[in-house]
Amino acid sequence: MVNFSAPSASERRFMPPAVAVSSVAFALHPPVDANVADPRSGDVISTWGEYAGREGARVEHATTLWLPLVRRTRPPFDDLWALPGGPIPWDEDLYHTAARTLHESVLRSPGYLEQLFTFGATTRSATAQRLVTIAYWGLYGELDLAVDPTTEPSRDVASDVATAGKNAVTEFSEALVASADANIAWFSIDRLPELAFDHADIIDYAVWRLRQRTEYSMVAHRFLSEEFTLAQMRRVHEAILGEQIDPANFRRDVLAQGQLVDTGRVEEGTPHRPARLYRFKEQPEHV
């Protein structure tokens, strides 16, 4: 077999670049059993279930977005946080690699995933093999976060991946991190830790793109459950855009799009007039 490990300096320049995928996966809040970083100190403090219960935080009033990060356990950037991801197996499509590595870290599959940009500057990591990263951005909706955490990864190629990863890509450990790990935690995008590589730039760009998409398309509903009120949908837009929206105009505009269907049902248990529940029209599959 070809030997890729420990290339000498003179060999390195003839090696093709290593290719990996990294994902910025947004959610309105972490899964209940996930580790979270304290929005104030930045330290990983407890699971979201405990934290949210203690602080009285509610999805209803979500005002920021969260994303999962993985702590590196080897150089370079040892001990810093990085985006979930990993190398590309030789027989796996890019989209699928992004989805699979996210699942391996978060133990859940995102409801939406789209290619963001390919980062390949030679200055990204001066210490080792040239690294090209194809970045994806995705969304975890309420239903995605609720998926049973005991679910196994869907593909049966775990050994292939580990082998290819260990041999071909020396800088990436994300795919190799064990499940349900203290080295995986969720952070508010308003309070991110120091990040490995140029992952801070990748996250900035992903946030910008999410805002773009929110303004001229209908992706925001993917944060919500199957059925939702217009007020819930409006709060998602407000969290993404970071500003308040007029409820009446939001209603008029979003209904004029013709993408929402009135289920005929209404929410229950409110201390006031209950709102109608809507659902989204079926969409063609993404590419």
Partner DNA sequence: GAAATAGTGTCTTTGAGACATTATTTG
Partner DNA sequence: CAAATAATGTCTCAAAGACACTATTTC
Stretch that binds DNA, among 2-10, 99-107, 176-184, 242-250 (CB under 7 A): 242-250
Report the site for its own copies in 37-66 (rule: CB under 8 A).
Answer: none
Is 133 or 183 the residue whose CB approaches its own copies more closely? 133
Q: Which does 93 bind (CB under 5 to 8 A by kind): its own copies, DNA, none?
A: its own copies
CA 2 to chain centre: 34
Q: Which does 253 bind (CB under 5 to 8 A by kind): DNA, its own copies, none?
A: DNA
Residue 247 touching DNA (CB under 7 A): yes
Residue 127 touching its own copies (CB under 8 A): no
Q: Which does 121 bind (CB under 5 to 8 A by kind): its own copies, DNA, none?
A: its own copies
Binding site for DNA (CB under 7 A): 229-231, 246-249, 251-253, 256, 266, 270-276
Binding site for its own copies (CB under 8 A): 1-4, 7, 10-19, 87-94, 115, 117-118, 120-122, 130, 132, 134, 160, 163-164, 167-169
